[in-house]
Chains A and B, each alone.
Chain A
């Protein structure tokens, strides 16, 4: 396992270089669906982070017992268990929020990010690495969700975390909080991130050649 990335590398990679949403295009359903407000987006990111961390640690602990042809089923059932815990927790302590998020909390089960991390990292590497990988990926996921949510909430309602930041004269772009706004915002942000990445890579190349 000499060529496997170390814990620190995994952690850093998850945040920007291998950002789950912008670079890997995984887990787009919640990215588009729950980002009409910052609060919902942060709660969603926390829920995904909790499930990802628990699932990664669990899978990493039992990685030597896994049978190759059954592993996807085991991953899914492990994830489903933790999603049930997260869902019940939200329903008990943050009832309003769990109403807002609605079916998107159970849909974390089929969120590709978690299965992907279990497959790529947790089923091959020890617990510490798997946990730091999960933390890095969740931070990256949270950043991505809040970037989309910030644009949508500010333009759509003139508020940020439900505190007014734009003058009341601002005409709310209602389309931003409706479904089309999610597609448009995320599409434009994705294009922008791609552009920045290519510029950064070009700069690095020039510096390297000098």
Chain B
């Protein structure tokens, strides 16, 4: 049950509360560049969601089995060269950035080839965006977030499993799609407005994004409220807020 609550909270916070674009500012380039038409924006969002999920699976696997301090695979390899005590302490996290960016770049390349070969229709709808995605910060950001939740925690039991990592990635992608689609819808209307000349293009998009971000700030606190509602609290704690209300 608590696992389910965890998943729901991670999903909500990735998609709405801490939206990738409007809260963490990752993926701003496509947010401004590819948000002219709703169909294009939606295609971009789908492509990002797709790649981000694959990248999350890869980064979780790499982090858990190779990079983490005392990771099984690297410890096994190191066991051939050094004593088993020092092999168990091996820590490759310093290589994480290089490994992640390499994993992302190569997976994007493979996904593009695969989709072009086997799903030509799908390739037509979002394949053109795939090469652009390698340099999309959102992907690397998701990988880093997953890493910090595996390596950065003190208690090994708190480290994220594949399910949590995948939830973060998929719903982060969904949040990106939501934000960029809303933005594209607004921009289609903006085409008809009389905007001062210096503000045309990126400037008005950013200001609109600011107002959107303000709207998304309304979700702040939803996660803690939901957590309180979903976890059965002990009766003493239930009484306390009533007393203060009186």
Q: Which residues in A have some Cβ–Cβ distance to B below 8 Å?
A: 25-26, 28-29, 32-33, 72-73, 76-77, 80-81, 83-84, 87-88, 103, 106-107, 109-112, 115, 175, 178-184, 186-188, 190-192, 194-195, 198
Residues on the A chain within 8 Å of B203, using CB:
187-188, 190-191, 194
Tell me whether A198 and B197 are in contact in the complex, defined as CB-CB below 8 angstroms, given that A179-B25, A180-B211 are known contacts.
Answer: yes
Residues on the B chain within 8 Å of A77, using CB:
98, 101-102
Interface contact B97-A190, CB-CB below 8 Å: no
Nearest opposing residue in chain B for A190, CB measure: B203
Chain A min CB distance to B125 (Å): 24
Interface contact A109-B101, CB-CB below 8 Å: yes
Residues on the A chain within 8 Å of B137, using CB:
29, 107, 110-111
Interface contact A87-B210, CB-CB below 8 Å: no
Question: Per-residue 0/1 for B28-69: is the Cβ within 8 Å of any A Cβ (1 yes, 0 no)?
Answer: 110010000000000000000000000000000000000000
Residues on the B chain within 8 Å of A88, using CB:
94
Count how many pairs of residues, one from A and one from B, have CB atoms less than 8 Å apart in the complex: 122
Residues on the B chain within 8 Å of A28, using CB:
25, 28-29, 32
B136 at the interface (CB under 8 A from A): yes
Interface contact B101-A76, CB-CB below 8 Å: yes
Residues on the B chain within 8 Å of A109, using CB:
97, 101, 140
Binding site secondary structure of chain A: helix
Chain B min CB distance to A29 (Å): 5
Chain A min CB distance to B152 (Å): 11
Interface contact A194-B97, CB-CB below 8 Å: no
B145 at the interface (CB under 8 A from A): yes
Nearest opposing residue in chain B for A78, CB measure: B98
Question: Per-residue 0/1 for B196-211: is the Cβ within 8 Å of any A Cβ (1 yes, 0 no)?
Answer: 1111001111110111
Per the bound structure, the CA–CA distance linking A106 and B141 in Å amounts to 9
Per the bound structure, the CA–CA distance linking A14 and B95 in Å amounts to 32
